[in-house]
């Protein structure tokens, strides 16, 4: 095969790559399975060691207990893990309350995980990638980084902030050959959305908001992770991939007559 030709059959393969998956439950578990299925060696990190171990067992990878709100622990993990080709951050939290009802400690908790810890992960693991001159970092944002609803003020602000951190990291790390991107899911069937799923009207309203008329499954986010981690996305950086079923494309929930 000529050196100028690309082998498209291996474009999405991750053989020989070491990937760190932070947030090993729900969407993170499926992302870890997908990365492993494409050949990556996956380190499954989670604040809950049982979650990390369960996902690691399913991927044949390594488990790591890691609280990313502990900056010192994150920087220590970056040093101890050594060379990484891929870092995927899915961990996040939400307190659904109106602005007038939000407590300062709730604000601090959401910001600490969703925004400050995102910065810490970019800084700690980005440093090694920049020094090596290669790597891909994928951060999970949300449609709430673009559109909001009552009760989502702090969560939405952190998810919008995460997108701006991703863009800035892409700009700063790009000259070294390191790519940084975000994924913005819409509404996903996970245990964290039980409150909504248990309310038929609420569930239906979310399902019909997007173009596909249904919620997504965690498995449907995994493809975007593999794409951004792989050579298939070799010229993609500073981007936010919308995996929202058309949520941000559709104007309102009413379908007017044609």
Would the pLDDT of 1 be above 60? no
CB atoms closer than 10 angstroms to residue 10: 14
Would the pLDDT of 182 be above 90? yes
- pTM (predicted TM-score): 0.95
**CB-side exposure of 206: number of CA atoms within 13 Å?**
21
DSSP 136: E
- CA distances for 52 relative to 24, 118, 236, angstroms: 6, 19, 29
Note whether 163 and 240 are within 8 A (CB). yes
Note whether 243 and 224 are within 8 A (CB). yes
Q: How far is CA 209 from the centre of its chain?
A: 22
Whole-number pLDDT of residue 30: 98
Strand partners, 218: none
- Active-site positions read 155
Would the pLDDT of 32 be above 70? yes
- Average pLDDT across the chain, whole number: 95
Whole-number pLDDT of residue 47: 98
Whole-number pLDDT of residue 3: 61
Mean pLDDT of 10-30: 97
**Window from 6-10, 80-84, 251-255 with minimum mean pLDDT:** 251-255
Note whether 23 and 91 are within 8 A (CB). yes
Whole-number pLDDT of residue 193: 82
DSSP 71: H
46 token code pair? 């989670």
**Window from 72-86, 141-155, 192-206 with minimum mean pLDDT:** 192-206
Would the pLDDT of 192 be above 80? no
Whole-number pLDDT of residue 194: 79
Question: pLDDT by residue (tens digit) across 226-257?
Answer: 999 999 999 999 999 999 999 999 987 777 78
Would the pLDDT of 217 be above 90? yes
Residue matched to tokens 């298939």: 232
What percent of the chain stands above pLDDT 90?
91
Query: Mind listing the domains of the chain with CATH numbers?
Result: 13-242 (3.40.50.720)
């Amino acid at each position: 095969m000529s050196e100028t030709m690309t082998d498209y059959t291996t474009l999405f393969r991750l053989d020989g790559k070491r990937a760190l998956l932070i947030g090993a439950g729900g969407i993170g578990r499926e992302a870890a399975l997908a990365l492993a299925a494409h050949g990556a060696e996956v380190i499954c990190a989670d604040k809950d060691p049982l979650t990390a171990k369960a996902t690691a067992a399913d991927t044949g990878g390594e488990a790591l207990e890691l609280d990313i709100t502990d900056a010192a622990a994150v920087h220590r993990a970056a040093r101890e893990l050594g060379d990484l080709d891929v870092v995927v951050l899915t961990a996040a939290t939400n307190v659904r309350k109106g602005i007038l009802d939000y407590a300062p400690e709730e604000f601090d908790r959401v910001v600490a995980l969703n925004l400050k810890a995102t910065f810490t992960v970019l800084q700690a693991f980005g440093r090694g990638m920049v020094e090596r001159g290669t790597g891909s970092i994928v951060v999970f944002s949300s449609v709430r980084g673009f559109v909001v609803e009552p009760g989502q003020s702090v969560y939405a602000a952190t998810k919008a902030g995460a997108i701006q951190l991703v863009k800035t990291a892409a700009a700063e790390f790009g000259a070294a050959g390191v790519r940084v991107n975000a994924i913005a899911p819409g509404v996903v069937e996970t245990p964290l959305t039980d409150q909504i799923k248990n309310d038929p009207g609420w569930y239906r309203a979310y399902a019909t908001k997007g173009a596909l008329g249904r919620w997504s499954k965690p498995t449907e986010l995994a493809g975007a992770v593999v794409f951004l981690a792989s050579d298939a996305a070799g010229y993609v950086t500073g981007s936010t991939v919308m995996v929202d079923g058309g949520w941000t494309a559709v104007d309102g929930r009413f379908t007017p007559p044609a």
